[in-house]
Amino acid sequence: MATEKNNEFADLIIPFTACPFEKVEVDCPFTYFGNHNELDEIIRLIDQLPIEKLISLREHHKTCQDWKLERGESVVNL
């Protein structure tokens, strides 16, 4: 069941599932958590992580995504 925290950080579902780009960067913090295929797993994970960690993950993903798009990399996993 989705919580307020899950709803607030729903944008992290895709990077927790798989990198939306073809090449995963070596410093990607999402690799630490592995790829999750089940939405229920991701919802539980988001709910368990501290808000500060989720904010940090979001900022890292946004920076990486912007950098990759500026370089012309294509989004391949959605």
At 15-42, the pLDDT tens digits run: 998 899 988 999 999 998 877 778 888 8
Residue 62 lies in a domain: yes
Q: What is the residue-averaged pLDDT of the chain?
A: 90
Residue 20 lies in a domain: yes
Domain of 12? 4-70
How many domains would you assign to the chain? 1
Residue 27 lies in a domain: yes
Which two three-digit tokens encode residue 10? 């729903």
Query: How far is the C-alpha of 45 from the C-alpha of 75, rounded, in Å?
Result: 24
Residue 78 lies in a domain: no
Residue 46: partners with Cβ closer than 8 Å, 6 or more residues away: 5, 6, 9, 12, 13, 16, 54
Q: Which residues of 27-60 are buried (b: 16+ CB within 10 A; e: fewer)?
A: ebebeeeeebeeeeebbebbeebeeeebeebeeb
Residue 77 lies in a domain: no
At 39-52, the pLDDT tens digits run: 888 899 999 999 99
